[in-house]
Amino acid sequence: MKFLVPFLLLVQIASCAITGSISSPESYYELGDTIVLNSTLSFNFQLDSEYKHVAVVFSTKGESDDVTFTQYPTGSSTGAYKLRIALSKFPAYFRSKDEIKAELIVGDIQEIREIATLRPATKIAPPEVVRFGKKAEIHHIFRGDAKQVSPVVSQIFIALTLALTAGVIGVWFKFGAVNFELGANRYLVGLLVTIAAFEGSFLSYFIKSTIFTTIQTWVVIAPIGLYFGVKSLRILAKYRSEGKR
């Protein structure tokens, strides 16, 4: 008995005075009323002071336990709290039930008060949940291959490249640029071979090779072509100084 009196005094001190009302476009309700939920509800609470942890918890009976849905009202320094919620904001599972309980919870002092019982005006079919069993077949739709340039374009480019290369070599022979003895102008032979190798790598790239393989080929051919090119130009400069070209 001596412990019961202090406990009751503590509960009295920790309790919170809650007043307010609930309204909809059609009606006005007091806290604790049973309300037919068919549109938007506006909850208005007046507490004795401002609290940090205030929530409205909607709950309904589930298969094994209560299912809850929590909303947080906006408050002011005077202890006035407001919450506006539409029927469409409730989860489909709630709208398929006969009854929804609404409770105001003030977490700071652990105050819980039932403020309304909601009955959806129009019930919807509960969402079907398939946990086990056969699932619907999934059909994947893959995009088609990206459009490619017509092969004729690359073939024309290859033909023009080969024709220009043959024309350049022909002009060299015509004007005596390659009128040489193999022993004295072996560097020029190497230069022509490296040029032919470059053309072959271009041709291979357009037919089957990848750009990475082609670049590796160029890395190998370029230093060789540079070496033979420098030697050939030196021999050509020597011939010109001697009046042979």
On whether residue 26 sits in a domain, the answer given is yes
- Asked if pLDDT for residue 13 goes beyond 50, the answer is no
On whether residue 217 sits in a domain, the answer given is yes
Question: Could you tell me which of 54, 42, 44 has the C-alpha nearest to residue 16?
Answer: 54
On whether residue 1 sits in a domain, the answer given is no
According to the model, what pLDDT value does residue 8 have?
36
On whether residue 82 sits in a domain, the answer given is yes
Residue whose tokens read 């005006």: 121
pLDDT band at 7 (very low <50, low <70, confident <90, very high): very low
On whether residue 212 sits in a domain, the answer given is yes
Q: Of 120, 139, 165, which residue is a domain's last?
A: 120
pLDDT band at 162 (very low <50, low <70, confident <90, very high): confident
**How many whole angstroms separate alpha carbon 92 and alpha carbon 182?**
92
Q: Of 99, 120, 141, which residue is a domain's last?
A: 120
On whether residue 21 sits in a domain, the answer given is yes
The tally of domains found in the chain comes to 2
* 69-113: pLDDT as tens digits: 888 888 888 888 899 988 888 888 888 888 889 898 887 667 888
| Assigned token pair, 64 | 């094994």
On whether residue 160 sits in a domain, the answer given is yes
pTM of the prediction? 0.44
- Beta strand 34-37 with 111-120 is parallel
With a pLDDT cut of 70, the percent of the chain lying above it is: 81
Is 64 in contact with 80 (CB distance < 8 Å)? no
Is 43 in contact with 97 (CB distance < 8 Å)? no
On whether residue 89 sits in a domain, the answer given is yes
Q: Of 76, 100, 120, which residue is a domain's last?
A: 120
- Asked if pLDDT for residue 56 goes beyond 50, the answer is yes
Is the domain of 110 the same as that of 19?
yes
Is the domain of 160 the same as that of 109?
no
Is the domain of 109 the same as that of 57?
yes
Identify the domain containing residue 190 by its residue range: 151-241
Between 6 and 222, the more confident residue is 222
* 207-238: pLDDT as tens digits: 777 888 888 888 998 899 889 888 888 877 87
Is the domain of 113 the same as that of 27?
yes
- Range with the poorest average pLDDT among 70-84, 93-107, 143-157, 190-204: 143-157
Please give the backbone phi and psi of residue 228, each rounded to the nearest 5 degrees, phi first. Answer: -65, -35
